[in-house]
A and B are shown apart, each in its own frame.
Chain A
Amino acid sequence: MPNIYQPNLMTIKKVINETPDTKTFHLVFQDEELQENFEFETGQFGEYSCFGAGESTFCIASSPTRKGHIECCFRKTGKVTNALFELSEGDTIGFRGPFGNTFPIEEWEGKNVIFVGGGIALPPLRSVIWNLLDLRDKYKDISIVYGARSVADLVYKQEIAEWEARDDVNMVKTVDPGGETDDWDGYVGFVPHILENDFKPDPENTVVVVCGPPIMIKFTFEALERLGFKQDQLITTLENRMKCGLGKCGRCNIGSTYVCIDGPVFKAAEIDLLPPEY
């Protein structure tokens, strides 16, 4: 029987400094056979080990359509992420996964898809954004509404520029009031506000995927419902605190739901069934 707690070793192939406190790692399995055969679907997450510091939970930020390596993106805030932040190209980390359910991208075929993210919540959306862009013909309009506290806190700046340059992506970017710079060419305002008052999406044949802190998810869903969206058009992905990713440690248990195995992807109607403070 495999040891469900033992990570697989991965080498950091590339480090990208996204913001002063956020990094992206490109990761490759050290076991060649695993590297060759590893599969995941968009929306799934992993448990990343910095040996000696512990394990942290992040989504897989790359798209399953892009083979060769997987990516994770994290902000240094706690013990493990601070330790991970110190690592360099060539270093070894541990990975367990993929865990959890996936974005139902086949259900979205033929529809408009809007991604709404805040701050460090763009990485979970990035996986599914690229997944859809790599299957571009299957979807109608694709829009990305992304905001952060300040210009410095925007992650994936290079990719935001790339999405802005594309004809087939509608890129809306914003920073919180006071977070703008002199040369900022996006909106200034909180994401739910910009979404409701400036972007104003049409609910017709559209799904919205929202990722952010719980308070942002709440306000964004409320704004979208005011615009006429129904609950079954709204999807989110949660990242509760986890230790195992397997429904065993109890950390992410809310009501009868385990975010790690029943999620992390939830429809708005499912979120409504959870106790208020998910």
Chain B
Amino acid sequence: MKSYLLDSLENLFQHLAVSHKMFEPQSIPGSEDLHWLPSPKGPTSRYGTSKQVLPLAPAKGFLFPERELLFRFDGQTFIETLPEVAPQVLFGLQSCDLCAIAYQDQFFRQDSYYLARRKATILVGFDCLTPCDGGFCSTVDAGPFVRDGSADLILHPKGNEWLLIPASEQGLNAIQTLNLPPAPAEWRAEREQQQAEVAKMFPTDSHIRTGIERINQATISAEQWQRLGLQCLTCSGCTSLCPTCSCFTTFDTKTEGESNTFVRERCWDSCLYEAFQRETSGHNPSKEAGERLQRYWFHKFSDHYVDEFGRYGCIGCGRCEETCPGGIGVHSIMRRLEKES
């Protein structure tokens, strides 16, 4: 696809804002953390070469919300509850979070609820020119530059200007009437070169590589998992913030005042909860915290899932490390696996 020269982010933002609801990672007063929030005015000025900061939570909830209605049933018929989502733009996605969305696109490809939201969403990604704290996207093929096929529009800073790459038909359609000039021919090649340079700026990842190897060679004993499991408080912080985690539960609730009307809802669940797999008989395939931890990390780093999804289930954002109160997020776990091998 052709690529374009964009002289002002503002132009692109306002152009998209004409027919889309805009969302951007923004800080709220009193905190430096970034949150995905509506951004009617945008764009905020932190894009470009400044130090990369990931939003506290990924954009997962836009497409797979924490709680949603699956159907309404009045005793006779089902009432359609597919979400009606106005066209929206997620502006300012980093490559890791885009890889997670691409992963979930595959996982939820038959899920009409996910798809209704996804089809209404344009993804605008930005190349990261510096590593973020705790991020290791380059180790797991999820960044630092936006991967082909993961965004609709890709933005790459070039001084005060931008290389704009439409990366999907939807992305191309969205900018068609902007009549942008083509980007200088050498910019694409320069971008490729620069990605390799940025990848070198990441701190050592030997513990991640060793941990992945040990998980796949199954050289971690049940006792070692159990020792690590002692530090799991089953808070579900990691699974809630993990951009690829998708376990859910469903439950029925009765509609007040209407005796025969029920709704079925689903909400995020966590495979680290003790009761997640517990059967009615009391039998529980993952009764011990170590067993649950083992399954969780297997799901993130097993080669088995590379066969299925073309990538690991971990996109290297490091959010689990940030949030885990027990000190067993990805870096801590992998360092322990490296040290205690």
Interface residues, chain A, with chain B CB atoms under 8 Å away? 1-6, 49, 51-55, 77-78, 81, 92, 94, 213-214, 239-241, 243-244, 246, 248-256, 275, 277-278
A220 to chain B, nearest CB (A): 16
Given known pairs A4-B111, A77-B281, A251-B277, the reply for A256 and B304 (CB within 8 Å) is yes
A270 to chain B, nearest CB (A): 14
Given known pairs A213-B283, A277-B287, the reply for A253 and B295 (CB within 8 Å) is yes
B82 at the interface (CB under 8 A from A): yes
Q: Which residues on the A side are within 8 Å of B110 (C-beta)? A: 1, 4, 246
A46 to chain B, nearest CB (A): 15
Interface residues of B in 238-261 (CB under 8 A from A): 246-252, 254
Chain B CB count within 10 A is highest, among A1, A77, A250, A256, for A250
| Docked complex Cα distance between A122 and B113 (Å) | 37
CB–CB B302/A256 < 8 A: yes
Q: Which residues on the A side are within 8 Å of B279 (C-beta)? A: 239-241
Q: Tell which of A81, A214, A240, A248 touches B111, judged by Cβ atoms closer than 8 Å.
A: A248
CB–CB B246/A248 < 8 A: yes
Q: Which residues on the A side are within 8 Å of B246 (C-beta)? A: 248, 250
Q: Which residues on the B side are within 8 Å of A277 (C-beta)? A: 284-287, 291
CB–CB A51/B280 < 8 A: no
| Docked complex Cα distance between A2 and B266 (Å) | 17
Q: Which residues on the A side are within 8 Å of B75 (C-beta)? A: 51, 92
| Docked complex Cα distance between A146 and B283 (Å) | 21
Interface residues, chain B, with chain A CB atoms under 8 Å away? 70-71, 73, 75, 78, 80, 82, 107-108, 110-113, 115, 246-252, 254, 262, 264, 266, 269, 271, 276-281, 283-287, 291, 294-295, 298-299, 302, 304-305
List the A residue with the shortest CB-CB distance to B108: A248
CB–CB A6/B71 < 8 A: yes
CB–CB B252/A54 < 8 A: yes
Given known pairs A243-B248, A253-B299, A256-B298, the reply for A51 and B73 (CB within 8 Å) is yes
List the B residue with the shortest CB-CB distance to A255: B298
CB–CB B262/A251 < 8 A: no
CB–CB A51/B70 < 8 A: no
Q: Tell which of A4, A249, A256 touches B248, judged by Cβ atoms closer than 8 Å.
A: A249
Q: Tell which of A4, A78, A92, A254 touches B285, judged by Cβ atoms closer than 8 Å.
A: A254
CB–CB A2/B112 < 8 A: yes
List the A residue with the shortest CB-CB distance to B276: A251
Q: Can you list 28 A-B pairs with a CB-CB distance of less than 8 A?
A: A3-B80, A4-B110, A5-B250, A6-B70, A6-B78, A51-B75, A51-B252, A52-B252, A54-B264, A77-B281, A81-B280, A213-B281, A213-B283, A241-B278, A241-B280, A243-B249, A246-B110, A248-B108, A248-B248, A249-B250, A250-B248, A251-B277, A255-B295, A275-B294, A277-B284, A277-B285, A277-B287, A277-B291
| Docked complex Cα distance between A248 and B113 (Å) | 13
Given known pairs A249-B250, A250-B246, A250-B248, the reply for A1 and B112 (CB within 8 Å) is yes
20 more A-B contacts (CB under 8 A) besides A249-B249, A255-B298, A275-B285?
A3-B70, A5-B70, A5-B71, A5-B113, A5-B250, A51-B75, A52-B254, A54-B251, A240-B277, A241-B280, A248-B108, A248-B248, A249-B247, A249-B250, A249-B269, A251-B247, A251-B276, A252-B277, A275-B294, A277-B286
B4 to chain A, nearest CB (A): 34
Q: Which residues on the B side are within 8 Å of A53 (C-beta)? A: 252
Q: Tell which of A3, A213, A240, A246 touches B71, judged by Cβ atoms closer than 8 Å.
A: A3
| Docked complex Cα distance between A3 and B113 (Å) | 8
A141 to chain B, nearest CB (A): 32
| Docked complex Cα distance between A255 and B291 (Å) | 10
Q: Which residues on the B side are within 8 Å of A49 (C-beta)? A: 252, 264
Q: Tell which of B250, B254, B286 touches A243, judged by Cβ atoms closer than 8 Å.
A: B250
B80 to chain A, nearest CB (A): 8
The 6 A-B pairs of least Cβ separation, nearest first, read A250-B247, A256-B304, A77-B280, A78-B280, A52-B262, A5-B70
B3 to chain A, nearest CB (A): 33
Given known pairs A2-B112, A51-B75, A256-B304, the reply for A241 and B277 (CB within 8 Å) is yes
Q: Which residues on the A side are within 8 Å of B278 (C-beta)? A: 241
A243 to chain B, nearest CB (A): 5
CB–CB B283/A250 < 8 A: no
CB–CB A256/B271 < 8 A: no
Chain A CB count within 10 A is highest, among B262, B264, B286, for B264
| Docked complex Cα distance between A52 and B252 (Å) | 5
Chain A CB count within 10 A is highest, among B246, B279, B305, for B279
Chain B CB count within 10 A is highest, among A78, A81, A213, A249, for A249
| Docked complex Cα distance between A207 and B71 (Å) | 44
| Docked complex Cα distance between A213 and B285 (Å) | 12
Q: Which residues on the B side are within 8 Å of A239 (C-beta)? A: 279
A90 to chain B, nearest CB (A): 13
List the A residue with the shortest CB-CB distance to B278: A241
A29 to chain B, nearest CB (A): 14
List the A residue with the shortest CB-CB distance to B115: A1
List the B residue with the shortest CB-CB distance to A47: B250
CB–CB B250/A244 < 8 A: yes
Q: Tell which of A3, A94, A214, A246 touches B82, judged by Cβ atoms closer than 8 Å.
A: A3
Q: Which residues on the B side are within 8 Å of A278 (C-beta)? A: 285
| Docked complex Cα distance between A277 and B75 (Å) | 40
List the A residue with the shortest CB-CB distance to B71: A6
Q: Which residues on the A side are within 8 Å of B271 (C-beta)? A: 250, 253
A252 to chain B, nearest CB (A): 8
Given known pairs A241-B279, A277-B286, the reply for A54 and B299 (CB within 8 Å) is no
Chain A CB count within 10 A is highest, among B78, B115, B287, B302, for B78
